A = this chain, B = another copy of it.
Amino acid sequence: MKKVRIGTGACLVAGLAATLCAAGAVRANEGMWTYNHPPQELMQQLYGFTPTQAWLDHLRLSSVSPGASAAFVSPDGLILTNHHVARGMISRVSTPEHNYVRDGFTAASRDQEIPLPGNTVHVLVSIEDITARVQGAVRAGLDPAAARKAREAQIAAIEAECAKKTGLRGEVVALYGGARYDLYRYKEYTDIRLVCSPEQQAAYFGGDYDNFCYPRHDLDFSFLRAYENGKPARVSDYLKINPEGIKDGEMVIVSGNPGRTDRLRTLAYIDYQRETFPDRVARTRHQLELVRSYMARGAEQRRRGLTLDNGLSNTLKRSEGEFAALQQPELRVKKAAEEKALRDAVAADPKLQAQYGAAWDHSAAAYDWARAHEKDRLYRREMPGSRFFSTTVLSLVRYQAEVAKPDKDRLPSYHESNLPDVLRRLQSPAPVYKDLEEVMAADSFQRLLDGLGPEDPLVVAVLQGKTPAEAAKFYLDGTKLDDVAVRQALLKDKGKAIAKSDDPLIALARRVDPLLRETDKAWRDNVDALEDDAGTQIALARFAVYGDKAYPDATGTLRFGFGKVTGYPEATTLVPPFTTFLGLYDRALSFGDSGDFALAPAEREHRGDVDLNGVLNFACTADITAGNSGSPLGDREGRFVGVAFDGNVESHANRFVYSETRARCVCLDVRAILQALTKLYHAQSVADEMLAAAAQGGGAAPAAAAATATGAAATGATAK
């Protein structure tokens, strides 16, 4: 599983609010719950455990978001996440001489911890329900596109006000497709350093083969540290580790940032997804082949391409799994039955029918429009070229154009509240490999030419009479934007130099920007706005029919869930809840200790020191998805027992429907982390820091109101 980078700023998720099953009941262990609406009755019923407000606040404040998920595990800002979450950061500070991704890294002392510039993490310090304020901004009678614009302006104002008043970054989160809006306030840490990470081969043992598989044998962890004012950040909330770990059948709580689920969407959306998935899958596969052929050129190319390879491989495997789930007839039958039950209930009540009855048809209309404009989605919704073109070059040009406007008129990503993120991204010191960029750009241009033809204005703007390969070479040879100092200079004075720059890449972005904006606006007005509107209507209908106990679809923001440690049936046998170090060495030797199944050097060298019986990974039923990578797993005392790093193959369907029969969250056990630190990676001090923190009085989880059903359930985190 791979971290998902969720667009910062207003998280405009068009998920439709509805409970998952027709009866409105949530299945056991299901749910990505918001911290201000915890399912306390359900947890009490399943596990005899009712988390108090203090217990939940502590878990929330210990949860760290580095893009994906993580947790504080000591009062000195020590952060534990997955290796694959930190991999990109580590890669950007690696060089051919110091290949920390391949070789791992352990800081000999705190002053040896490696700064990871351009990276931030944040902590969710408070949540406020602002539904009335957001919806109040929309005058009655506005069409969906205009209503959306009004909401966006109001959201931008609320976020700006938050920053001004509290110094905290504000994010307005649209839940249930817009039936509820919450303001999330974040404390940000902008000085992040690398403390310890294992070899990639140990973290990613089994490679792409074993990704999304279980049983598993991966040491997928990294330790980072948040700094403030040049010193380790002092944090009052962190998770104490439980060095004894968790047992089969026991409850675990998971806290993290699930990126996206589509469980409450309309059937029209599901059908549209199923139709358009093959294009997405084919494109990812093609890009992966391209990167691999680049990497085959030599060792340095292999190093440069590895992060992209891992990312694309991961996306491809996930997409294939999700597509397979979409193709299962049972999924559609189930979704159709759920939708019919709700529509029938609405139709049976004239008042509900008058208010919400048309929503499903509006959603269908949105996707009919999308189908008719499918070619635009394929070719005109992103900056041609590589990821660097899209995320940095186009963004430079847009930054300059947008900051000149009043906040309410800007593109959502360029609202004042989001500018710190934008500026950090634009000034990232991460290396740009021009040779790799050129390969990706030439391919992207060729695709555009093949898809749209030579006369298309976008193609003309990109190629300017050249072949795709010539154009790619022209742009990459000529640009100086790979130099971060050049970008920093351009950004001065609200980027006014950008408008006059003759950098060929900036010139390209200036040419294509108006064309992309046009397409994008058409999609936002004709699909997103309708879908938002329908989503809100259907969510309200669902509240009216079933009540509002269900959790909203994932939005890339902090949630918690729960489940239990357990194996599952597969084919005709059983898959065990745990794996051990014995299994790691078995799997390596079974494949001749080679290729993706080779042991990492530390695993090979220090095998004699390791307790082979020790638990390595485990499986649990907690409801997670991409973005949860790095999520801490807590026991009922709130102690850290492991970190989520993947789902099994069966969990791909979780995007659309949760199942606990065979879908599992795959975790690295705390006991394995301790063995790895002390026996493989010369990082006794990191282990000691966590153990000492666990023994301290501070930072402990407040006792949960265990085994006592509470009528006066805590009401969730409130604004602070």
Contacts and interface: CB of A to CB of B under 8 A. Distances in A.
Interface of A: 206, 209-213, 215, 248, 317, 320-321, 567, 571-574, 576-580, 582-583, 585-587, 589-592, 597, 612-613, 649
A417 B585 CA distance: 55
A572 B317 contact: yes
Most interface-central of A210, A567, A574 (chain B CB within 10 A): A574
A575 B542 CA distance: 46
B572 A580 contact: no
Nearest to A206: B573
Given A209-B572, A209-B574, A213-B571, 14 more contacts: A206-B573, A209-B573, A211-B572, A215-B590, A317-B572, A320-B572, A321-B572, A567-B590, A567-B591, A574-B597, A580-B590, A585-B613, A589-B613, A612-B612
Nearest to A579: B590
A649 B572 contact: yes
12 contacts: A206-B573, A215-B590, A320-B572, A321-B572, A576-B591, A577-B590, A579-B590, A580-B585, A582-B585, A582-B589, A583-B587, A585-B612
Contacts of A210: 573
Nearest to A216: B573
A572 B612 contact: no
Contacts of A577: 590-591
A612 B573 contact: no
A458 B417 CA distance: 88
Contacts of A578: 589-590
Given A580-B586, A582-B583, A582-B589, A573 B215 contact: no
A591 B612 contact: no
Given A213-B571, A582-B612, A612-B582, A587 B576 contact: yes
A213 B567 contact: no
Contacts of A612: 582, 585, 612
Nearest to A591: B576
A284 to B, nearest CB: 15
Given A583-B583, A583-B586, A586-B583, A212 B572 contact: yes
Contacts of A576: 587, 590-591, 597
Contacts of A582: 582-583, 585-586, 589, 612
A282 to B, nearest CB: 17
B589 A574 contact: no
A589 B567 CA distance: 13
A215 B583 CA distance: 12
Contacts of A649: 571-572
A488 to B, nearest CB: 43
Chain A residues touching B, majority SS: mixed
A213 to B, nearest CB: 5
Contacts of A317: 572
Nearest to A321: B572
A573 B613 contact: no
A573 B248 contact: no
A323 to B, nearest CB: 13
A381 to B, nearest CB: 29
Nearest to A648: B571
- Those 6 A-B pairs whose CB atoms lie nearest each other, nearest first: A576-B590, A583-B586, A582-B586, A209-B573, A582-B582, A213-B573
Contact of A592 (B248, B590, B597): B248
Nearest to A592: B248
Most interface-central of A567, A572, A649 (chain B CB within 10 A): A572
Contacts of A573: 206, 209-210, 213
Nearest to A575: B590
A580 B593 CA distance: 12
Contacts of A591: 567, 574, 576-577
Nearest to A652: B572
A709 B38 CA distance: 75
A548 to B, nearest CB: 38
A585 B582 CA distance: 7
B586 A579 contact: yes
Nearest to A581: B586
A324 to B, nearest CB: 10
A471 to B, nearest CB: 37
Contacts of A586: 579-580, 582-583, 586
Contacts of A215: 590
A320 B572 CA distance: 10
Contacts of A613: 585, 589
Nearest to A578: B590
A624 to B, nearest CB: 19
Most interface-central of A209, A317, A321, A590 (chain B CB within 10 A): A590
Contacts of A585: 580, 582, 612-613
Contacts of A211: 572
Most interface-central of A206, A317, A592 (chain B CB within 10 A): A592
A212 B572 CA distance: 8
A46 to B, nearest CB: 22
A597 B577 CA distance: 13
Contacts of A213: 571-573
A73 B287 CA distance: 56
Most interface-central of A321, A580, A589 (chain B CB within 10 A): A589
A639 to B, nearest CB: 22
Contacts of A589: 578, 580, 582, 613
Nearest to A320: B572
A572 B212 CA distance: 8
A583 B574 contact: no
Contacts of A209: 572-574
A214 to B, nearest CB: 10
Nearest to A613: B589
A356 B686 CA distance: 81
A660 to B, nearest CB: 19
A561 B580 CA distance: 37
Nearest to A215: B590
A590 B617 CA distance: 10
A213 B570 CA distance: 10
Contacts of A583: 582-583, 586-587, 590
Most interface-central of A215, A317, A579, A587 (chain B CB within 10 A): A587
Nearest to A567: B591
A489 to B, nearest CB: 47
A210 to B, nearest CB: 5
